Amino acid sequence: MMNAKSKSRSAARLAAVQALYQLDMENTPLARLLDEFHQHRLGREIEDAQYADAEVAFFDDLVKGVEARRDEIDGLVSDKLAEGWTLRRLDRTMIQILRCGAYELLARPDVPKAAAITEYVDVAHAFFEPREAKFVNGLLDAIAKDVRD
């Protein structure tokens, strides 16, 4: 069973993917986007679904970190895509999942490699079929080999 910290981090990861998707689609200024999520999304009930209390500092780090290092992260992800594939060919939600996962592997040595990968595979399951979740697993595992010992 997951402890409260694990649950709040899982919620932060899911929220970060959603926030980055919104940033990508609507180009909301980052400060306003973070504020909106703090006020209205994290730990709130939306459409009868209770959002778990997300770890706010972790959420902020994921969103700001992915945005700050987007070019580097996109390069890491692109390098692992099959020949002929580009980021633009991927589903926009998928791109955010991969960016968040790559960022955590790159910049959060406090998070164990296997935990980071598993978490984003779980996020992928929330949006996609098992085949896409396997894709997330393989791609993040390949990135981990490059950025972690």
Q: How many domains is the chain partitioned into structurally?
A: 1
Distances (CA, A) of 126 to 11, 70, 95, 146: 12, 23, 14, 27
Of residues 94, 86, 93, 118, the one with CA closest to residue 105: 118
pLDDT per residue as tens, the chain (149 positions): 567 778 888 889 999 999 999 999 999 899 999 998 888 767 655 555 555 567 889 999 999 999 999 999 999 999 999 998 999 999 999 999 999 999 999 999 999 999 999 999 999 999 999 999 999 999 999 999 999 87
Domain with 37 in it: what CATH number?
1.10.940.10
pTM score, whole prediction: 0.90
Q: How many CA atoms lie within 13 A of 71 on its CB side?
A: 0
**What is the domain extent for residue 80?**
4-147
